Structure 1
Amino acid sequence: MTSSRPRRTELSSRADIDGLVELFYDQAMADPLLAPVFEVLAIVGLDEHLVVVGDFWEQVLFRTTRYEGSFTPVHRALHGKYGLTPERFERWRELWHESVDELFTGVDADRAKSKADAMVTALRRSTTGV
């Protein structure tokens, strides 16, 4: 029996990051717990947002300098409007890990997950105090 699922590869390029971000956002926007937070992107422009998120992850993983922002104030505003609960942060982390694991393997895939874990911890503390 041949699997239709693509073989996992090393996470190694901006194109890889873009594919990962797309998969993650598709899942997050369909997730019952996360969808209310993510649906604002349909209004403000998902395509533009995905480029910014790709820039962020490219900087985190490959040390580029394209990302020019600060994600903490944005997430504080989202918390004020939608309530970024510890459960929502944990679900975000789970979906990110699942997305990475579905597509990629290797050192940078592992780093993408560990960096996400650190981000969740920092954002949860800065927005909810937990």
Structure 2
Amino acid sequence: MARARIDDGVGREAVRSATGADAAAVDRTTLATAVRYSLQILAERAEGNTVEVRVPPFAAVQCIEGPRHTRGTPPNVIETDAATWLALATGAVTWADAIATGRVHASGQRADLTGHVPLPL
């Protein structure tokens, strides 16, 4: 069953709140909505099942065209925390910088979001 789509207005407002000046005070529900919405946009713009992007404990999506993965641990995984993911999604940090500083764990040949982030949020 398909997951319900987060409304663009609700999602954008959550991203604004979670990345704004008062981001440290944002509630968990708003942070979760911001992460889920931005991952939803990634999955829509980079359709596919080759890479799994995980932002625990909030969400994970499969994206990027290529060989489909269906069982067990995917060979191409990107994992990061919510703050880093939102920084990548909004362009506050580059993919190269996030990798270089260890803020993102990426494993597998295709585990690369260059050209996919920042997102049009």
TM-score category (smaller protein):
0.3 to 0.5
* TM-score, normalised relative to structure 1: 0.34
- The normalised TM-score by structure 2 is 0.36
Q: Radius of gyration: which is bigger?
A: 1
Higher helix share: 1
